[in-house]
Amino acid sequence: MSPRLSSQAIRCFGVLLALALHPTAPGIAQTNSYRALASHFCLDCHDSQDAEAGFDLETLLQKPFRAHTDDWERVLQKLETGQMPPKTSPVPNQTERDAAIADLVAALDAAAFTSPHPGTAAALKRLNRTEYQNAIRDLLDLEIDARDYLPPDESSNGFDHTLTNNLSPTLLSRYLVAAKKIAQLAVGRPVKSPVGKTFRIKADVTQEKHVLGMPLGTRGGGRFLHHFPQTGLYEFQIRLARDRNDEVEGLRGSHDLLILIDNEQVASLKISRPKSGTLADFQDSNLRTRLPIVAGPHEVSATFRRTSGSLSESVRQPLNVRFNLHRHPRLVPAVYELSITGPFAGANVNEHRLPSTPTLTPSQKTIFVARPGSNASSETAAKQVLEKLGRKAYRRELKPEDMHRLLDFFRSGNDQHGYEAGIESALTAILTSPHFLFKIPPSDLAIMTEDDRKERGTRRISDYELASSLSFFLWSSLPDDILLHLASENRLHEPAELARQVKRMLADPKASNLTSNFASQWLHLRNLGSITPDGRKFPDFDENLRLAMRRETELHFESMVTNNASVLDLIQSEHTYLNERLAKHYGIPGVHGSRYRRVNLLPHHHRGGILRQGSILTLTSYATRTSPVVRGNWVLKNILGATIPPPPDDVPGLEEQPTLVDSSSVRERLLQHRSDSTCASCHELMDPIGFALENYDAVGRWRDRDHGLPILTTGMLPSGVAFKSLDDIEDTLMSHPELFVSTFSERLLTFALGRGTELHDRPAIRKIVRDAKPTGYRIESIVLGIINSVPFQLRSSP
């Protein structure tokens, strides 16, 4: 009797042989060889109830190939990631498998070349918080924290793309209020009354040692960027950290609390225990002072003068954390918050050594390129100011109707309160304009002829669209004057010029956006702030360690971009970036101080690529233990590009299954969990990879044993390749780089397009990977491949 296989296995095995026989024929199911194979296995080809229900390859193979490329892309994705055929079914050997995959790829890519499919662009995208914040910085030379003005963005396809058809009244109100406040701050008109802002330090920050960026000889505290709207007197109020009994923590003896402006000491406050009562009687109101400050942005710090450490503490080698009263109490006081209020009227210029003439802030210098005078009227000067601001904000040349609208706002403010008020009013209008808040493509479609549009159904984006797409991709901000100038001359799209601009943009400090925005979302680093390991099991974890973990991964990615290194450096690396806190956590000696530096690694350090970094290992763990399932799923999704469906609702977790609670190790408990046939199919893919990471505990420390038992890290990848440890997985990824590079390119393309990739984007991704191969998959070649790709450069014609 013929063996009975699942419909998925039958379809997958059948297509491999059929493609090997006739790789590009539109009706390859007509061959006798395929018919014989199908009749031998196809006992239940049409009754599948799984996720692929209704997907019948025997029928598909009889249909025109080019009309069903999306279906073939699904087949290819399953075969490339090793998810099909199942290990339990008969499969071709590796040579046959590779040949069939290569033939299918060639057929799909040929179809895509002759009929490019750019996909459907999102109807309307508004600036997300990061883009809004960066746009204000580059438009007005003003640093803001968009979190103070706008609500959090929703995630779409793993990134904070803000696809919308309209603005809710609440969000519209937030944009209006934000625009008014930002315009007033940038223009710098006098405020009617003092305004304040409070900066707060997280409760689980250890403040016993030097803080990066502070002067040497200080310890603890915080450093904050604050924009002072006018020159004048400002009040600084500091509050110290207190425990649950409202007592000031660690207040023994006397301490010097310093206030620094741009790292220069401007005030010193002496603090000591109250002469009577308890530490709860300490008056924070005494930690207040008024200081003269020149208008503009300044780094404000509140810190302590460092005294010599305790020898006994050094000998005992205590925990690195100091913030919890009962488990690890503070040894010295700590800053809880810093409030800044002002300016206050009545400041004497000579008494406080303030400038006798107004000092222009960076934003005022950027905005006021012209002022009314003997050679220019108010309206003439305003036109020059608004032409510059409007062109950059709207990412194109201003139209006459744009200028008329802005001048109407200017006249309204100018007539009532003068020239600066008029500019402030017009600037508010710019910041609330749809042309600023939304990524609206221009309506000029004259780049392609009408015949081209009818024939191909696509158009190349205009140079202004290209400038905007480039800048939001690489900088998450507005295009600069160079890009806009090239766009105005219709030269930006020229291949040589485009390559020059990409190289320039990646070398610009603003390219750090690829780290802080793309990498932090792709690798889920933004979620690290919400991870709190169990304090009893992991007492040495605090915010300092959390930040150091994140910074290690960011610096690793940032160095790849800065040095135009291979993206494979993310998988295997002989160096990493550590400060003293993280080096101690990893057990790597010889690293001292708060500064991060490149550290060359040895094999016994067990560090290197992102799969060995504390940020990823902590993110993919539970509060009390590791999770091979979460870790394995993370690797499948973010490294291998495979997708795993969510578990059924009625399947309990490990902690909810009484028969598993007493098992000795996580591996043994999961092996029992996999005995359930409902769970086995997905866990067979995820768990082995997660087991390979079991040498790292829930906060990323290396270990050799779990619950007293040796840790077993052997397993098999979805492709069928066996491994003994994480070393083998990394070696496999390095020997088959297309797997990871394809996944990386797909995620970066998603980020660049502002939409999720679709099956018809797969040929473009393969071309990006193929073109980057001669360079060793350097990041610049992948970025340039994305920018030159069909989905980035073309749009479907309306």
CA 131 to chain centre: 12
List of E strands, 263-327: 264-272, 288-293, 296-305
Contact 277, 289 (CB under 8 A): no
CB count in 10 Å sphere of residue 411: 16
Contact 699, 614 (CB under 8 A): yes
Q: How far apart are CA 788 and CA 495, in angstroms?
A: 9
- Predicted local confidence at residue 6, as pLDDT: 38
- Predicted local confidence at residue 671, as pLDDT: 63
Dihedral angle, C-alpha 507, 513, 515, 518, nearest 10 °: -130
Q: How far apart are CA 733 and CA 26, in angstroms?
A: 34
- For the chain, residues with pLDDT lower than 70 are 1-58, 82-92, 120-123, 162, 164-166, 309-318, 346-353, 356, 441-457, 647-681, 683, 797-798
- Predicted local confidence at residue 121, as pLDDT: 63
Cα-Cα-Cα-Cα dihedral sign, residues 396, 402, 408, 411: positive
- Predicted local confidence at residue 32, as pLDDT: 40
Contact 208, 220 (CB under 8 A): yes
Contacts 24+ apart (CB under 8 A), 725-733: 725/692, 725/695, 726/611, 726/612, 726/692, 726/693, 726/695, 728/692, 729/611, 729/689, 729/692, 730/571, 730/572, 730/608, 730/609, 730/611, 733/568, 733/571, 733/572, 733/639
In the beta sheet, which residues pair with residue 324?
A: 328
Helices (H), 83-225: 94-114, 129-140, 169-187
Instruction: Quick: pLDDT tens for 628-682.
Output: 999 999 999 999 988 777 766 665 665 545 444 444 566 666 665 555 655 666 7
Enter the pTM of the model.
0.88
Greatest extent of the chain over all pairs of C-alpha atoms, in Å: 104
Instruction: Quick: pLDDT tens for 287-325.
Output: 999 999 999 999 999 999 998 754 444 444 567 888 877
Contact 505, 511 (CB under 8 A): yes
- Predicted local confidence at residue 9, as pLDDT: 39
